[in-house]
Structure 1
Amino acid sequence: MRKDLHEANRLSWNAATVAHNSHKGDQAAFFRGGGSTLFPEERRLLGDIAGLSLVHLQCNAGQDSLSLARLGADVTGVDISDEAISFARRLSDGSGIPARFEREDVFTWFEQAVSAGRLFDRVFSSYGTICWLSDLDAWARGIAAVLKPGGRFVFLEFHPFAMVFDEKWKPHHDYFNEAPVEESGVGDYVAESGHGLTPGGAVAGVADFRNPHPSFEFAWGVGEVVSALIRAGLALEQMAEFPYANGWRGFDGMRDIGGRRMVPPVGMPRIPLMYGLAAQKR
């Protein structure tokens, strides 16, 4: 486990989160008006969560967490970024949607939760999360340890095959990557994605963001993810791959086919851009 790199990523995310939220306008008003940031795929995999306890791992600034709480779940959001958790708490207060937000490295949070005997009906994680984790088996074991018997883990993530390409759709990165890759820092993907990641309406916000802190990413293939969950004792219930990316316009020429689902340019073959799964603790 590389908690030194997790700490470097915390600093990079603190800086990036300010830029990201600068483009999203009055988010509290968006939620007070009944807004939600969830996509149909999340809701379908989660099922009815009214009255259930749910922990949202790597919850970022809490927008999806509050959308889940609005569906009736008792939500706890966990994230390593101080800025993200601070914003999430303010957003909860300003929107009137109750949820708990806890600032911690997810691996340390697992240790603390297990020690305190905390258990949840649902564990949820989505979009751009596992690339920041240095130990996939410890992640899967932590998920299993905080799930109640019969509880379910729901996961949606951008497909690692798509990450082989650079922004111009040219093969550039290894799919199989055994070492962390240093990047120039978490970028302003919210500005790049426009309305895709700002359902409440985009505003100009921070311009020409450059992160002063480098970041470190880890590549995990689909087989590695599924195998880690199985080794941790979870039973895979369903899995799906999608030829679109929810919200994220990560490559040149991506277009919205409706519902903020982004696909490659016209004429390009369809490839998997996202996958989702549900696994149960029995």
Structure 2
Amino acid sequence: MDDQEWLRLNRANWDDRVRVHVGSEFYDMAGFRAGADPLRPDEVADVGDVTGLRLLHLQCHMGQDTLAWARRGAVVTGVDFSEAAVEVARGLAGELGLAERARFVASDVYEARAALGGERFDVVYTGGGALVWLPDLSRWAEVVADSLRPGGFLYLAEFHPVTDMLDDAGERVVSDYFDTDPGREDFPFTYTDGPELRHTVSVQWRHPLGEVVSAVAAAGLRIEFLRERPRTVFGRFSSLERDESGSYGFPAGRPGVPLMYALRAVRE
């Protein structure tokens, strides 16, 4: 499969998802407009104070996380390959009075450097299901490194690849951790509530944790930490339980596996 085919299929799929996501309870646009914060407390603690920092959010979708960082004082740039998503993000920035602190650019991640005119940032932020849409993590990590000023850092918060091995209940290993062949899927729904998709085909890639760490290190970034976490942001498995904070984890007394991870790496 060449770059143009997977990119065309995934862009059509995500343009269509925007139509569903913008009206979904999952993304809760009304709540966000009213001040709800989609950022997870551990991410906010890991990243630290962003007041006055220039933050680049790769694969930003409709811009809610991006604009949440702007609300915390950052000057933000969001990049996404879906024109439809970028239009929603721009509209949100205008409605919330953040247009002077937030810009959104439509671009494939691999072409982001050209699309941004070579600008460099204090923080590159990404994650939450972003990496599975990219075939080449070495190329991605090079884009990240080239987007950072000296002293700037990458913060990646992602779903742990171990979760791709488990069945729907999260109880049995049913898939090979090291199977990294592209998966072409034809599925009528997105991960939120809402109507069926019209463009149902997508292509995804699995990336073991070692591949992620190695790509970041090979791009010249120094890894400050890698934190594996026992909780996640949605009910990925039927056995997960939701706590008062809204996060999900396995029931008490049951052996756990990492559900998410966070990586921070600095350009020296």
Inter-partner Cα distance in structure 1 for 2:26 and 2:256: 33
* 1:93-242 alignment, distance < 5 Å: 93-98=94-99, 99-113=102-116, 116-169=117-170, 170-185=172-187, 187-191=189-193, 206-207=194-195, 209-242=196-229
SS of 2:22 mapped into structure 1: helix
- On the 8 A contact 2:113/2:119 being kept in 1, the answer is no
Of 209-218 and 98-107, the range deviating more from structure 2: 209-218
- % identical equivalent positions: 36
Cα distance, 1:112 vs structure 2:
3.6
SS of 1:124 mapped into structure 2: strand
- On the 8 A contact 1:28/1:91 being kept in 2, the answer is no
What amino acid does structure 2 have at the position aligned with 1:109? A
Inter-partner Cα distance in structure 2 for 1:25 and 1:92: 19
- On the 8 A contact 2:26/2:192 being kept in 1, the answer is no
Task: Flag structure 2 segments of 5+ consecutive residues without an equivalent.
Answer: none
Aligned partner of 2:256 in structure 1 is: 270
* Aligned-residue RMSD, C-alpha: 2.0
Q: Residues 16-71 of structure 1: CA distance to partner in whole angstroms, max 9, x if unpaired?
A: 22212212399565345332111112111211110010100000111101100001
What amino acid does structure 1 have at the position aligned with 2:232? A
For CA contacts below 8 A with separation 6 or more, give which structure has more relative contact order: 1
Cα distance, 1:3 vs structure 2:
4.1
Cα distance, 1:223 vs structure 2:
0.8
Of 4-13 and 131-140, the range deviating more from structure 2: 4-13
TM-score (norm 1): 0.87
Q: Residues 148-173 of structure 1: CA distance to partner in whole angstroms, max 9, x if unpaired?
A: 00001000000000111232334333
* Residue 281 (str. 1) matches residue 253 (str. 2): no
SS of 1:179 mapped into structure 2: coil
SS of 2:5 mapped into structure 1: helix
Inter-partner Cα distance in structure 1 for 2:188 and 2:54: 31
Inter-partner Cα distance in structure 2 for 1:140 and 1:221: 15
Inter-partner Cα distance in structure 2 for 1:15 and 1:271: 33
Inter-partner Cα distance in structure 2 for 1:25 and 1:262: 15
Aligned residues: 264
Task: Say which of 246, 256, 259 aligns to 2:245.
Answer: 259
Inter-partner Cα distance in structure 2 for 1:47 and 1:111: 29
The 1:47/1:118 distance shift into structure 2, 3 A limit, reads: same
Q: Residues 76-109 of structure 1: CA distance to partner in whole angstroms, max 9, x if unpaired?
A: 0001112211111111112222311111111011
What amino acid does structure 1 have at the position aligned with 2:258? P
Aligned partner of 2:60 in structure 1 is: 59
The 1:150/1:26 distance shift into structure 2, 3 A limit, reads: closer
- Displaced runs of 4 or more, over 4 A: 25-29
Aligned partner of 2:14 in structure 1 is: 13
SS of 1:76 mapped into structure 2: strand
Inter-partner Cα distance in structure 2 for 1:56 and 1:268: 36
Inter-partner Cα distance in structure 2 for 1:127 and 1:60: 11
The 1:158/1:237 distance shift into structure 2, 3 A limit, reads: same
The 1:3/1:237 distance shift into structure 2, 3 A limit, reads: farther
TM-score (norm 2): 0.91
What amino acid does structure 1 have at the position aligned with 2:3? R
Inter-partner Cα distance in structure 2 for 1:210 and 1:255: 28
